[in-house]
């Protein structure tokens, strides 16, 4: 439906900013990463995103919906990255190198988003929490499937321990500032991750 201008004439229809939803999520992550999502108000999120707080409701039904969308986006990033690595059909060691490198890249480049994920996932309603935990388990199984042929000396349980240790080591950087530049941080995390898995990386 056309809108009316101040002169009363019909103007072009108002278009919703397609990037506004992303700006809202990024603003919520920045605010919540340092102090907890429960302390952040909708008006604050709106101000940080450059809109009025009530404008958020055009994109998200509630504050809880903002959090759920933010956490879902973080998990979706990990899933999409792993799916691409597995679909490439490369040998297992090369695939594992890509899984490690992509996980490090996602965590270090989106640290506020992932910090909120691991700080707030336990606050979600039970059904949403179970869904994200299920997706996390499937993500770990993708890694185990790739690692298993490279470490035939290990049982399934032992493989999962190594994968969890590897992922946990990478994600530990979410909770402190190392002061290292990105290149050095990525290099250290890559060496640590492969050391925990017991598999040398493929140098690309």
Three-state secondary structure of the chain: CCEECCCCCEECCCCCCCCHHHHHHHHHHHHHHHHCHHHCCHHHHHHHHCCCHHHHHHCCCCHHHHHHHHHHHHHHHHHHHHHHHHHCCCCHHHHHHHHHHHHHHHHHHCHHHHHHHHHHHHHCCHHHHHHHHHHHHHHHHHHHHHHHHHCCCCCHHHHHHHHHHHHHHHHHHHHCCCCCCHHHHHHHHHHHHHHHHCCCCCCC
| pTM for this prediction | 0.84
State the number of CA atoms in the 13 A half-sphere of 104 facing the CB: 21
Per-residue pLDDT of the chain (204 residues; tens, 9 = 90+): 444 444 444 444 444 565 888 999 999 999 998 788 999 999 999 999 998 878 899 899 999 999 999 999 999 999 999 999 999 999 999 999 999 999 999 999 999 999 999 889 999 999 999 999 999 999 999 999 999 999 999 999 999 999 999 999 999 999 888 889 999 999 999 999 999 999 999 986
pLDDT tens sequence across 30-89: 999 878 899 999 999 999 999 887 889 989 999 999 999 999 999 999 999 999 999 999
The pLDDT of residue 202 is 95
Note whether 171 and 115 are within 8 A (CB): no
């Amino acid at each position: 439906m056309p809108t009316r201008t101040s002169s009363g004439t019909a103007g072009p229809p108002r278009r919703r900013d397609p990037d506004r939803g992303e700006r809202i999520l990024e603003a919520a992550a920045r605010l919540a990463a340092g102090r907890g999502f429960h302390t952040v108000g909708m008006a604050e999120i709106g101000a940080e995103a450059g809109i009025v707080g009530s404008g958020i409701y055009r994109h998200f039904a509630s504050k809880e919906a903002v959090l759920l969308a933010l956490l879902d986006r973080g998990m979706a990033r990990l899933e999409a990255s792993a799916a691409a690595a597995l679909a490439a059909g490369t040998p297992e060691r090369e695939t594992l190198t890509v899984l490690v490198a992509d996980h490090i890249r996602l965590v270090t480049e989106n640290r506020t988003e992932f910090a909120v994920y691991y700080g707030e996932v336990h606050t979600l309603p039970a059904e949403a929490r179970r869904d994200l935990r299920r997706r996390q388990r499937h993500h770990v199984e993708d890694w185990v499937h790739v690692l298993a042929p490279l470490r035939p000396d290990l049982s399934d349980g032992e493989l999962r321990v190594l994968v969890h240790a590897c992922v946990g080591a990478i994600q530990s950087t979410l909770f402190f500032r190392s002061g290292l530049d990105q290149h050095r941080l990525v290099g250290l995390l890559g060496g640590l991750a492969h050391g925990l898995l017991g598999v040398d990386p493929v140098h690309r």
